[in-house]
Structure 1
Amino acid sequence: MADIQALLSALEVFTQTPDKASLDKANTWLQDFQHSPAAWSTCNALLLSPDAPPAAKLFASQTFRAKVTYDLNQVDPSQLPGLRDTLLTALKNYQSGPRAIIVQICLAVAGLALQYPAWENAVQTMITTFGTNPETVPVLLQFLTLLPEELHTNSKIPITDYDWNERITNLLTKNSKQVLDLLSMYIQAAGVTVEVQNQVFNCLRSWLLSGEVSTAEMAGSPLLGFAFEALASDTLFDAAVDVICDLIHETQEIDDNMPVIEMVVPRAIALKPLLNKHKDNPEKIRGYARIFAEAGETYRMLIVHHTDTFFPIVEALVECATYPDLDIVPITFPFWARLAQVIGKKSSVPPLFVQAYQTIMRVIIGHLRFPADSSPLSGQEADDFRSFRHVMGDTLKDCCEVLEPEACLLATYEMITAGLSNNASTLSWQEVEAPLFALRSMGAQIDPKDNRAVPKIMDLIPSLPNHPRVRYAALLIISRYTEWINMHPEYIPPQLQYISVGFQEQDADVNAAAGQALKWLCSDCKQHLVDVLPTLHNFLNTSGTKLLQDDRRMVYEAIAHVISAMPMGKAAQSLKTFSLDILSQIHAVTSKAVQATKQELKEIGDGLENLEVMLNVIRSFGEELPAACHNTCKEAWTIFDQFIVKYGTDADLAERVTRVLRHGLSFFDTAVREIGAAVVARMSFAFEATGFSSYLWIAGKIIGRFGDQEDPELRGSFQEIYERSTNNLASTLQVKAAGTIPDVLEDYLQMLIQLVQQAPDIFFQSSVFLTAFRASTAALSLVQADTIFAALDLFRMILSHDCLDPHPSKQPPPNFILYANAIHNVIEIGGSEFLGYLLNGLVGDFPPESDSMVVSIFRSMSTIWPSLVLTWTPLVLHQLPTSAAPNPIKENFLSELTSAINEKRFDQVKYAVISLHRASKKVRERRKAGALER
């Protein structure tokens, strides 16, 4: 009674609105309870008690299912018949529902049948027990529906492959004919209810999809005919559609299933007239569309090779695609794509298919049309429609595959010209915009050498109506056709003019499209645009100032592409021209006696972003910098240094400036060495003042690039930032949880990794090594995968360093002794704490891909410090939460680890660690599943 009362109290928490702590506490208690042996009897009492609350009964049924899956080893084999009878009794008691409880008990029975070989006639037992009484037949059908799904998909049940195969044969394969006969009998029994007939269909699908009932067996039963007849019933329609679609899908092996296909296809084709009959019923049309689409996809090769017989399926799908409901139209899209893959490879396409795809192309372009201005779409509707247009665009590409891009482009072009030839007063922008969108979608298919269709489109663009949506669509066509324009440079001036006008529009979308078009034009046609660069520079300093930052950034990106195509000397001078605009602005704001305004700082941030974009595109001029760049590195750093001093405490600006510095490091490369020490020193002081991780990030990049240089000034700056940032981080971790500064820890770790690799003497011989080790250990408590990987990588480098090798293949460097002594000292002091974090993470939040790194670290520690590992591990395991690693799992790990170390079989440490991880993972998954069910 105490257990029952405690269980009811825990469940009661979920019916209230308590704080998260109370919910977590109740959930943890329930999960622990589900693991306990006492749960069997407690849940049995609750399940059979008429007075128990509904939530308690449902939880009891869920617990039975979970314990049969995970904990059947808690039941003595002699008690298994009693457990089976308990579950069957519960099913009888709940034959009227709730369905959720019936489902859980059926799953428990299925799991028990799989693990209880002595119950040889489990299916027959269920049929005998529940199959003769009309009131219990629904329970039987629910069990038979779930049985194949559970046995084929529940990988958590602990059973060997051999035993699984044997039980599948006994439970499913040997009973498939009996089940099929039973379903055939039930579906046409006198007085059968619609609910039972729907259950029959669902059960049939389960056995069909699992492969336990073959397509030939189903086709040879009354169920095939009844499925098609059931389409006339509103209440059976959906279930019948599902069965027919599944049957068709299972006949994919055409040669093996021709007798079945010959029975199915005529029945399917006979449904075609119903598309018109039920045109006002979208749900019916959806079902028919699913059947035709499944038939089309499955039998597409038959459609190609036996067109006369199978083409009515294509005609039906054309009709479905024409339907105005845009939730139904996409059901046909996979068919058009897969059929195009087949016939698009043929030297000539049969006329029937040409006509079908021509129709589909026109239909899709019609569906692309936005509603009239008098009935606009709402915000979410508009977003959904825009997304769906791109899906439809993919089908237009399929049309190009069959009809050839040139033919599709010309046909779409003619739609536009036909619309433009109408009375201007009656012409709607929607009528023009839809085929323009189609031209954009089909642009990916065009031949850059096309001289018939694309020139007509390019000539048409400047004469299109001046409507924002039309101009937006036309600009995006230019974006898509820039490879063609590159091969026809005579079209650059008019398109550049059209783009320029787009920047002058008041519509933000049009501005963005103009920026996109300019970016791609400059990217693909850069060698033709070198002479336009002064014009672009003038544009940026005049009209460009009115653009939104996103659009200005794209213009700068476009300019960078043009610069990258120029000869190096000229490119360097051009880059300097555009960069100086931005650097002068930064210098001017920094030099002001008063603090800059928010607007000024925003403009600086935008300028830094634009400079970053340019450097990212241009990347580098190589090791030999052009003359224009000789002094730029030092001059630019002077400006940035002063700016960081004054405004480096602004997080956004710090992020922006360090991103530019990162690209500057790649761009100037060896020239950075001259200022490297000053940059690292500034990063050190800036991090100390702000705690911003980006300053450590840049320091790490410079250490990675120049860490192996014998430059006293550089090395001094490396040691300074290492020691100052370590002490600063250690102080921060005294007042802040590691989880609040994951970005700082990650960039700190990456900096340390560079030090270990490039300057190990600085890393190991510094007085802060122990502090750095402990600070890095804190990162193992985080959930961010990148940070955990960085920490594990660092520890693996430390604990497997060559200086620890007792039998080196060659004479080690003299300072290896100093490194080794430092590592030994750190492990002796902080090793126990580190081991605790490592095992906590292994059974907790470490990403799955980290297993090999943990194994490597554990093996190194076990090899070098075996006695310490054996001393620390029991205490660490005791502190691990039992919710993540129950005591039997801990004991097994300790036993395997102890044997491996004592017998000096250090390779076996790997299996101990992996076993611990896998066992704890199963525990976590089980607890998570229990939490989700509630």
Structure 2
Amino acid sequence: MADLQALLSALDVFSRTPDKASLDSANSWLQDFQHSPEAWATCNVLLLSPDAPLAAKLFAAQTFRAKVTYDLHQVDPTNLLALRDTLLTALERYHSGPRTINVQLCLAIAGLALQLPAWDNAVQTMIDSFGRNPATVPTLLQFLTLLPEELFGNTKIPITDEEYRERSAQLLTAYSKQILELLSMYIQATGVTSTVQSQVFGCLRSWLAAGEVNAFELSKTPLFTYAFDALASEELFDAAVDVICELIHETQEIDDNMPVIELIVPRVIALKPQLTRQRDDPDKIRGYARIFAEAGETYRLLLLQHAETFFPIVEAIGECSAYPDLDIVPITFPFWMRLSQTIGKKSSLSPLFLKAYQSLMGVIIHHLHFPTDPSTLTGQELDSFRSFRHVMGDTLKDCCFVLRTEFCLLATYQMITTALAHSPEHISWQEIEAPLFAMRSMGAEVDPNDNNAVPKIMDLIPSLPNHPRVRYAALLIISRYTEWINAHPQYITFQLQYISAGFEDSDSEVCAAAGQALKYLCQDCKQHLVDFLPTLHTFLSTTGTKLVQDDRRQVYEAIAFVISAMPMDQAAQSLRTFSLDILNQVHKLTNHRGTPTKAEMEEVGDGLENLEVMLQIVHSFGEELPSACQNSCEEAWVVFDSFLAKYAANADLAERTTRVLRRGIDLFNSSVLTVASSVTTRMSAAFETTGFPSFLWIAGKVVGRFGDEEDSGLRAAFRVLFEQSTSKVASLLQVKNPGDIPDVLEDYIQMLLQIASLAPDVFYASPAFPIAFRASMAGLTVVHSDIIFAALDLFQSILLHDSLDSSLPLPHPPKFPIYAASIRVAIEKEGFTLLSLVVAGIVGEFPADSTAKVVSIFRVLAHTWPSQLLTWLPRALEQLPTSDAPAQAKAQFLQDVTSSVNTRQFDKVKYAILSLTRASRKIRERRRTGL
């Protein structure tokens, strides 16, 4: 009774509107209760109690389903048949509802039947118990519908594959013929309601989907005729559509199912007139579209082999594709795609299919039209329509595959010329924009050597109306056809003029399209655009200043592509020219007296972003810098050093600057060594002042590039960096949770990995090492895969350091004793905390593929610190909540690890960890799904 009252109290929380903490507490209690052995009896009492609240009864039914799935081992084998009888009694009580309880009990009985071989006549028992009384037949149909779904869908039931195959054959295959007879009897029983008939169809669909009902056997029953006849019924239409689609799908082995297909196809073709009769009912058209599309996909080989007979199905699918409701049209797209792929393998093709795809192309382009008044669409509807246009664009590619791209391009070209032939006042921009969008979609299929269709399109562009939607579409055609333009460079001058005019447009989307077109033109035609670079530089200093940043950045991307195609010396000089424009802005802001305006700072930030883009694309000149770059590294760093001295505390400028520095390291390569010490010192001081992780990020890149250099000044800078950053991170962790500073932790730990690997004298011999060790453990508590992996890598490298390996041949490096002593002191002091965090992680939030690193850490602890491990581990496991790891799993883990240590079979630690991880994952999954 205490359990019952506590359960009712916990459930009552959800009927009120309490705070989140109360909800979480109640939910956690209920989940723990569901896992307990006492839940069986308590839930039985609840189900049988007439006064229990409905929510409590539903919870009891859900708990039975969950416990049958996960906890059947809690029931003494001698009591399993009694449990079956308990569930059957409860189902009898709730046969008339509520449906939610009925469903959960049916699922519980299905799961029990799968796991209880002693119940060798489970399906017959259900038929005998519920199939003879009209009042309980709906419950039987509910069970029979759910049985195959639960057997095939609930992968959590703990049985072997062999047990599953044997038991499912006994429960499903052995009864398939009887089920067909039963359903045939119910579908035509005297006084049968449409509700029961709908349930019959639902049950039939479930057994068909499971592959347990043979299509040929079904065709010999009244169910076959009833399914097609039921399409005339409002109440049964949807259920009938589901059954017919499933039946067609089950006949996909065409040679084995020809007798059934010969019965199905005439009935499907006979439905074609309904597309006209039911045109005003979208729900009906959707159902018919599903049937025709399923038939078309399943029988597509027959369509091609016997076109005259089967082509009405293609025509019907074409009508569905042309339907104005764009929620229905996509049902047909998989058919057209798969048919086009099949046609592509044929040496000859009936003209009927060519006409079908020609018609489809026209239909799709018609669907692409924006409404006459786009303001009639809401913002969400407009976004959805634009997204769907790209889906329709894929179907146009299918048309290209069948009809060939040149034909499709010429057809769309003709649509535009026809529209342009109207008098100016009657030209509709929608009639022009839709074919332009189609041309853009087909661009991926264009042959770069085409000299027929594409030239016509390029020559047409200048004559297009000056409407923003039309200009936008035309600019995107240019961006999609740049590979063709590269093979026809005579068009470049015109394209640049058209793109440049696009930047002048008042419509922001047109400007953005112009930026995209210029970027791709320069990327694909860069070798033809070298002579245009001065023009682009002039453009930036004039029109470019009026562009929004997104568009201006694309122009810089375009310029960088052209520079990357130049000879090295010329490229270096050009890069220097464009870079100096930006560096002068930076220098000017550094020397600004007083407080700069927000606009002035944003302008410099945008310039830094543009410089980063250029450096990223140009990337590197190699080890030997061109003459134009010989002193550029030192000159640029002087500018940035002064800039950061003044503006490091501005988060946006700091982020932009460090991103440029990252690209600068790649560009200047080994030449960065001359300023590496100064860069490291500035990053260290800036992080200490601001706590911004980007400074650690760059410092880590410098260590990674020059960490093994013997320069005394550089190593001193690394030492200051390590100690100052460690002190700063430790102070941040005193006032913030690790989850509040994930970026700081990630960049700090990544930097430590570089220092530990390349500068161990800085890392292990410093008094900051134990502080760094402790600070890095915070990374194991953050729900962020990259940080967890980095922290595990760091501790793995520490524990596996060669200084701890006494088996290595002498002589050891002179500082090894210092390193080993530092590591041992850290482990003695922090080992329990480290172990606790690792254990909590493997049953908690560690990524699944971190197991190998965890095993490595455990193996080293077991080998090098065995007594400490066995002392720490019980306490670490005690701290784990049972919601993360069951008591039995924890006990088994401790036993396995202890055995591994005592027998010095350290490799067995792996299997102990895998077992604990599996047990934990299973319980977490159960909580997540609410079972």
Return the TM-score normalized by structure 2: 0.99
Distance 2:107 2:557 in 1: 59
Alignment correspondent of 1:920: 920
Residues 372-381 or 117-126, more deviating? 372-381
Alignment-mate amino acid for residue 175 of structure 1: Y
Question: What displacement does 1:592 show?
Answer: 1.3
Q: CA offsets per residue over residues 879-902 of structure 1, 9 Å max, x none?
A: 111111121111111011111111
Question: What displacement does 1:811 show?
Answer: 5.0
Distance 2:606 2:597 in 1: 14
Question: What displacement does 1:304 show?
Answer: 1.4
Question: What displacement does 1:645 show?
Answer: 1.3
Question: What displacement does 1:374 show?
Answer: 7.2
Question: What displacement does 1:584 show?
Answer: 0.2
Residues 798-807 or 434-443, more deviating? 798-807
Alignment correspondent of 1:707: 707
Alignment correspondent of 1:228: 228
> Is 1:609 matched with 2:624?
no
Alignment correspondent of 2:717: 717
Alignment-mate amino acid for residue 357 of structure 1: Y
Question: What displacement does 1:444 show?
Answer: 0.7
Alignment correspondent of 2:57: 57
2:240 is paired with a residue of what secondary structure? helix
Distance 1:806 1:190 in 2: 89
Q: CA offsets per residue over residues 251-306 of structure 1, 9 Å max, x none?
A: 22222222221221111111111111111111111111111111111111111122
Contact 1:586/1:639, CA 8 A, preserved across alignment = yes
Distance 1:591 1:33 in 2: 68
Q: CA offsets per residue over residues 421-453 of structure 1, 9 Å max, x none?
A: 011111111111000000100111010000010
Counterpart mapping for 1:665-684 below 5 A? 665-684=665-684
1:708 is paired with a residue of what secondary structure? coil
Contact 1:47/1:57, CA 8 A, preserved across alignment = yes
Contact 2:368/2:434, CA 8 A, preserved across alignment = yes
Distance 2:521 2:766 in 1: 54
Alignment correspondent of 1:772: 772
Alignment correspondent of 1:358: 358
Alignment correspondent of 1:377: 377
Alignment-mate amino acid for residue 657 of structure 1: T
Q: CA offsets per residue over residues 35-68 of structure 1, 9 Å max, x none?
A: 1111111111111111111111111111111111
Distance 2:816 2:398 in 1: 65
Counterpart mapping for 1:496-575 below 5 A? 496-575=496-575
Question: What displacement does 1:366 show?
Answer: 0.5
Contact 2:91/2:105, CA 8 A, preserved across alignment = yes
Distance 2:24 2:280 in 1: 51
Distance 1:347 1:301 in 2: 14
Alignment correspondent of 1:271: 271
> Is 1:89 matched with 2:89?
yes
Q: CA offsets per residue over residues 859-892 of structure 1, 9 Å max, x none?
A: 1211111111111000111111111112111111
Distance 1:550 1:372 in 2: 30
Alignment correspondent of 2:891: 891
Distance 2:799 2:207 in 1: 55
Counterpart mapping for 1:425-440 below 5 A? 425-440=425-440
Counterpart mapping for 1:161-560 below 5 A? 161-373=161-373, 376-560=376-560
> Is 1:835 matched with 2:835?
yes
Question: What displacement does 1:624 show?
Answer: 0.9
Distance 1:390 1:823 in 2: 58
Distance 2:304 2:543 in 1: 57
Distance 2:570 2:337 in 1: 48
Question: What displacement does 1:112 show?
Answer: 1.1
Contact 2:307/2:350, CA 8 A, preserved across alignment = no
Contact 2:886/2:919, CA 8 A, preserved across alignment = no
Question: What displacement does 1:810 show?
Answer: 6.9
Q: CA offsets per residue over residues 550-607 of structure 1, 9 Å max, x none?
A: 0000000000011111111111111111111111001001111212111111111100
Distance 2:216 2:857 in 1: 57
Q: CA offsets per residue over residues 437-480 of structure 1, 9 Å max, x none?
A: 00100111010000010000000001100000000000000000
Alignment correspondent of 1:638: 638
Contact 1:349/1:402, CA 8 A, preserved across alignment = no
Residues 854-863 or 546-555, more deviating? 854-863
Contact 1:515/1:552, CA 8 A, preserved across alignment = yes
CA change 1:683–1:82 in 2 (3 A) is same
> Is 1:10 matched with 2:17?
no
Alignment correspondent of 1:19: 19
Contact 1:590/1:643, CA 8 A, preserved across alignment = yes
Distance 2:770 2:196 in 1: 71
Question: What displacement does 1:344 show?
Answer: 2.4
Alignment-mate amino acid for residue 5 of structure 1: Q
2:358 is paired with a residue of what secondary structure? helix
Could you list the runs of 5+ residues in structure 1 that have no partner in the other structure? none
Distance 2:141 2:720 in 1: 74
Alignment correspondent of 2:622: 622
Could you list the runs of 5+ residues in structure 2 that have no partner in the other structure? none
Question: What displacement does 1:77 show?
Answer: 1.5
Distance 2:121 2:508 in 1: 71
Distance 1:649 1:374 in 2: 46
Question: What displacement does 1:217 show?
Answer: 2.3
Residues 37-46 or 251-260, more deviating? 251-260
Distance 1:267 1:489 in 2: 57
Alignment correspondent of 2:759: 759
Distance 1:806 1:54 in 2: 69
Distance 2:600 2:349 in 1: 63
Distance 1:93 1:337 in 2: 51
Question: What displacement does 1:805 show?
Answer: 2.5
Distance 2:419 2:606 in 1: 43
Q: CA offsets per residue over residues 82-131 of structure 1, 9 Å max, x none?
A: 21111111111111111111111111111111111111111111111100
CA change 1:301–1:809 in 2 (3 A) is farther
Distance 2:302 2:816 in 1: 73
> Is 1:47 matched with 2:47?
yes
Alignment-mate amino acid for residue 142 of structure 2: Q
CA change 1:305–1:801 in 2 (3 A) is farther
1:395 is paired with a residue of what secondary structure? helix
Alignment correspondent of 1:741: 741
Alignment-mate amino acid for residue 838 of structure 1: V
Contact 1:215/1:247, CA 8 A, preserved across alignment = yes
Question: What displacement does 1:345 show?
Answer: 3.6
Give aligned pairs, total: 931
1:425 is paired with a residue of what secondary structure? helix
Distance 1:645 1:880 in 2: 48
2:373 is paired with a residue of what secondary structure? coil
Alignment-mate amino acid for residue 367 of structure 2: H
Distance 2:104 2:168 in 1: 20
Distance 2:681 2:21 in 1: 45
Question: What displacement does 1:6 show?
Answer: 1.1
Distance 2:355 2:210 in 1: 39
Question: What displacement does 1:375 show?
Answer: 5.6
Alignment correspondent of 1:798: 798
2:447 is paired with a residue of what secondary structure? coil
Return the TM-score normalized by structure 1: 0.98
Residues 6-15 or 452-461, more deviating? 6-15
Question: What displacement does 1:813 show?
Answer: 2.9
CA change 1:568–1:114 in 2 (3 A) is same
Distance 2:815 2:153 in 1: 58
> Is 1:784 matched with 2:784?
yes
Alignment-mate amino acid for residue 378 of structure 2: S
Superposition RMSD on alpha carbons, in Å?
1.2
